[in-house]
Amino acid sequence: MRNLFSGLLAIFFVACRGVTPTPETVLEAPSTHESGQPKEIHWVRSSAEYRASLIQAYRFASEVLEASVSDREAGTWAVALDADETVIDNSLYQKERAEIGESYSPESWGEWVKRREAVPLPGSQVFLQHVRQLGGKIAIVTNRKQAECEDTEAVFGTHSIPYDVILCKRGESRKEARWRKVQDGSASPSLPPLDIVMWIGDNIEDFPEFGQEKR
């Protein structure tokens, strides 16, 4: 979701300015921002465009959702979302790793999750509140490990991010089996079988039966 809409915004801004970067300009661009952060991390944490792309995507999702559920009974349907970089922001983890010249590692990620310092992404809370207002349920299907689920739920609770169930990874990363649990009513004792009407994510595998071959 993020990459698609930010890409569209970037094309829009370039077209409006009438500027076409030359290959030399792209190749000679520095890999770090003047702040010392890698440019992509600085862009995610500081740019107006990134924030706008998220809000734009969630507003579009709201419009599509309204049309999709106008004739559905409340409590019979759900929206399924990924967590990391879809609903919550882990860019502080990336920034801290870059500052010490390191990248992702399972150990450092585990420590980050335990800190419970992820924050909501722009647009996500408003969208999820709207799902609730329309009568829908919210299923967060994440590839955080089952052992990390409690910390993940704590982040959602701290920031009052609406959800009805969080399904973490048990075994394989593919999410189809967990979506089926939402659909057949086995995801949570408090939820009936639900028709998933929308999937939202930042990875192609956050969508049913999709993979990199869809490019």
pLDDT by residue (tens digit) across 119-172? 999 999 999 999 999 999 999 999 999 999 999 999 999 999 999 999 999 999
Q: How far apart are the C-alpha atoms of 90 and 105, rounded to whole Å? A: 14
Give the model's pLDDT for residue 31: 72
H-type helices in 20-148, by residue range?
23-28, 39-46, 48-69, 91-99, 106-115, 124-134
φ, ψ at 125 (rounded to 5°): -65, -45
Query: How is residue 87 written in tokens?
Result: 């609903």
What's the pTM? 0.84
Q: For residue 118, how many other CB atoms are within 10 A of its CB?
A: 24
Q: For residue 139, how many other CB atoms are within 10 A of its CB?
A: 25
Where residue 35 falls among pLDDT bands split at 50, 70, 90?
Answer: low
Cβ pair 83, 140 in contact under 8 A: yes
